[in-house]
Amino acid sequence: MAFLLRRLAYLVYVLIGMSLLMFVVSRMLPGDPALIYAGEQNVTTEMIERARRELGLDRPLLVQYVIYMQHLARGDFGRSLVTREHIFEDLKRYYPATVELALAAIVIACLVGIPVGVVSAVFAGRWLDHVSRAVALFLNAMPVFWLGLMAIVIFYARLDWLPAGGRVSDLHREPPRLTGLYTVDFLAAGDLAGLGSALSHLVLPSIVLSALSMGVLARITRASLLEVLEQQYVTAARAKGLAEWIVIGKHGLRNAGVTIVTVLGIQFGNLVGGAVLTESIFSWPGVGRYAVRAIETTDFPAIMGFAITFAVLYSLVNLAVDVTYYALNPRVRA
């Protein structure tokens, strides 16, 4: 319990620090938000002054920050400088698409990365190990945006196997909104054709996005499994005459799992970073593309909204990882 409280306090501290940092940086920007807000053409000085007052930019920086945080506490991220929509509403609309993409990517990364790491560890030092280590290293250095473009060139332009953008083909309507995850919503509505379309749209972006984490997971699984397999309890299990796959599965992987879970949490952050790039390549209507568009129009409240919600989400995932780690590994409790 004390552990959880300490961890929560730390989370709040980091979030406040991060938002303060972002806020100060945003106010140093040369582009004048009041000017953007007032509309860049044909504005008079009075209009800019009024916009400045409306946005509260005439107050001291610290006061502005406190006001911003007070609004934030009520779930009010302010309005977009460009569309004047509530940013909170925008984020609510775009987040599910990103979550769907990131979940699909992490599932793929686990399904491929962990077995590859296990095989690599079991055949350590042999050619299968060398090949999978090389592939993992290659994936680690792969620019996700290039991989995406090449996937479109090959699987869309050349082979015409898979669609290159969007979440669902134009022939299908959006599913009735339940979770915002199209695959789940189509399934709930019993629309199998829609589900097929949503899945086929998900294939390329999620595989591309999973590439980086896949390599990391394979490397970590290999490393931690090799370390565990050297322990005396593994030797003891072998000496008992247990089949090798039981030794690896039950004694090896379960103990290596602690490390793998931790890395998975960190990967979630990279995944959303990668999602910004993946989404803009595959016209995936998620928060990443929203953030890129906000950047293009210097819509700082929107960028802030993205960064802060993302930071909260990221911290919560890491908190969950820490709690899992704590539960799995009695040694850290001491």
Partner 1 sequence: MTGRLGKALAWLGRRTRRNPPAVLAAVYILVMSAMAAAPWAFTSHDPYALSARERLQPPSAAHLFGTDEVGRDIYARVVHGTRLTLSLSLFVVALALVLGSIVGSIAGMAPRWLDELVMRTTDIFLAFPQFVMAMAIVAAFSRSMLNAMLALACIWWAQYARIVRAQVLAVRQEAFVEAATALGRGRAAVLVREIYPNCFGPVVVRATLDVSYAVLILSGLSFIGLGAEPPTPEWGALLTRSREYLIEHWWYPTFPGLAIFLTSLAFSFLGDALRDALDPRGRKYV
Backbone angles phi, psi at 86, to 5 degrees: -70, 125
Indicate the DSSP class of residue 158.
I
Applying CB under 8 A, the site for partner 1 has a residue count of 58
Task: Specify the stretch interacting with partner 1 by CB under 8 A; choose among 69-77, 202-210, 218-226, 253-261.
Answer: 218-226
> Taking CB under 8 A as the rule, does residue 291 contact partner 1?
yes
Lookup: tokens for 170: 């134009």
209 binds partner 1 (CB under 8 A): no
Contact pick of 175, 219, 256, 259 for partner 1 (by CB under 8 A):
219
211: helix, strand or coil: helix
| Residue 86, SS3 per DSSP | strand
Q: Whose CA is closest to 115, among 231, 214, 208, 238?
A: 214
Q: How many CA atoms lie within 13 A of 190 on its CB side?
A: 0
Q: How far apart are the C-alpha atoms of 195 and 93, rounded to whole Å?
A: 20
Which segment (103-111, 195-203, 252-260, 264-272) binds partner 1 by CB under 8 A? Answer: 264-272
Q: Work out whether 161 is an interface residue with partner 1 (CB under 8 A).
A: no
Contacting residue, 2, 157, 239, 334, with partner 1 by CB under 8 A: 157
Using rule CB under 8 A, residue 256 touches partner 1: no
- CA–CA gap between residue 254 and residue 251 (Å, rounded): 6
Q: By CB under 8 A, name the one of 12, 61, 63, 137 that touches partner 1.
A: 137
Q: What is the DSSP string of 91-126?
A: HHHHHHHHHHHHHHHHHHHHHHHHHHHHHHHHTTTS
Instruction: Give residues in contact with partner 1 (CB under 8 A).
Output: 10, 13-14, 17-18, 21-22, 25-26, 28-31, 137-138, 140-146, 149-150, 152-153, 156-158, 219, 222-223, 226-227, 269-270, 272-274, 276-277, 280-281, 291-292, 294-296, 298, 300, 303-304, 306-307, 310-311, 314-315
